[in-house]
Structure 1
Amino acid sequence: MSDSSASAMPFRVEYREDSGEVVVWMTFGAGPKQTMRRKVFTSLEALVVAVTEHRWEAYLQSSLARELTQAAVDHLGANPQRLQQAVLALSDPASTVPLGELLYGPGRRPAPPDDTASS
């Protein structure tokens, strides 16, 4: 259906005109343990239910990501801009910048935890 993003996504959506079915091919895992699963939608109603489920899951995942981001900023002292850059870099398979450099800057490391605070 959408060829522009098909190669970057772990799924492919096809429409079979002869049967009127929408088929989703989903890839799980990596390397030799990679498997593919197929899901067939034979009605508009079934497809709408699937869309609703995925939107709800996406909403929950997005809400969790926002909460985790806020916790990193509020409790771990993360720089919001650097945190966003690190998240984007981790999402880019071509990125080669070390995570620590993205989070703390070139040549900088996080301060060690304060052991006296827990005593």
Structure 2
Amino acid sequence: MKLSTRAALLSGLVLPGLGQYLNGQRVKAGVIMTAITVLVLALGGRIFSLVYQVLAAATAPGSLILIPSKQTLAEIHRRAYSENGWLLLLIVSLWLYSIGDAYWNARRKERARPPVSH
């Protein structure tokens, strides 16, 4: 595996879209980076809202819970996955697509280049 292919693959592992950027696919990189950012922010917002709802329902009006009970934490955990699993799956799928696409496009570019003679 050539250095450029390895760089695209490893960059895609670190940040979705970075491998495409290194391959010269700037628009595709921007679309992937933007999509991942929007999806992660949406997931964070949904989980924050869920935590707020569960904690608000578990407390008496006007009181403050500093340490939630194990049951409350279990409810947050269960609902976070059951209600947002599709969003997490979408993020992971897009990330894996980004890695594979960066790798295959780097390989294709690598094969298209004429060999360097010394």
Q: TM-score range by the shorter chain?
A: 0.3 to 0.5
Q: TM-score, normalised by structure 2?
A: 0.37
Which structure features the higher share of strand residues?
1
Q: Which structure: greater helix fraction?
A: 2
Q: Which has the higher contact order (CA 8 A, sep 6+)?
A: 2
